[in-house]
Amino acid sequence: MFPPLGRLGHHRLADGRSAFRVFAPEKLALRIVFDDGRAPLVLDGDALGYWSAATEALPAGTRYRVEVDGAAWPDPASRRQPEGVHGPSEVVDIVPAASPGWRGVEIDDAVIYELHVGTFTPEGTLAAATQRLGHLAALGVNVVELMPLAAFPGERNWGYDGVQPFALHAAYGSWAELRQFIEQAHALGLAVLLDVVYNHFGPEGNYTGQFAPYTRAAATPWGAAINFDGEYAYGVREYFAENLRFWVEDVGFDGVRLDAASEIHDNSPVPIVRELSELAREIGRRQRRRVLTIAEHLRNNARVTAADGLGCDAQWNDDLNHALVAWLTGERWRHYASFGRFEDVVTALARGWVLDGTRLDRFRRHFTGSDPAATLPHEHVVHVQNHDQVGNRPGGERLAALVGPERALLAAVAMFASPFVPMLFMGEEWGETTPFLFFEDFGDRRVVRGVRAGRRAENGFVPGFDPPNPHARSTFLAAKLRWPRAATPEGRFVLERYRRLIALKRAGELGPRERGAVQVDGDAATKLVRLAAPRTLTWLNLGPAEQAVAAPEGWTEVLCTVPQRTPGRLPGFAAVVWRAPG
90, 229, 238, 259: the catalytic one is 259
- The DSSP output letter for 249 is I
Angle between helix 233-245 and helix 272-287 axes, rounded to 10 deg: 30
Task: Count the Cβ atoms, other than its own, within 10 Å of residue 296.
Answer: 20
The helix/strand/coil state of 149 is coil
Q: Using CA of residue 227, residue 229, residue 231, residue 232, what is the dihedral sign?
A: positive
CB 256 within 8 A of CB 196: yes
Q: Active site includes 296?
A: yes
Distances in Å between the Cα of 92 and the Cα atoms of 59, 65, 204, 464, 516 are 8, 14, 24, 50, 51
Q: Active site includes 259?
A: yes
242, 296, 397, 428: the catalytic one is 296
The helix/strand/coil state of 241 is helix
CB 399 within 8 A of CB 408: yes
CB 377 within 8 A of CB 362: no
Distances in Å between the Cα of 267 and the Cα atoms of 263, 370, 377 are 12, 20, 29
Residue from 262, 259, 62 nearest 148 by CA: 259
For the chain, the maximum distance between any two Cα atoms, rounded to a whole number of angstroms, is 83
Q: Using CA of residue 384, residue 385, residue 391, residue 394, what is the dihedral sign?
A: positive
Instruction: Read off the amino acid at residue 94.
Output: I
Instruction: Read off the amino acid at residue 323.
Output: A
Q: Where in the sequence numbering do the catalytic residues fall?
A: 259, 296
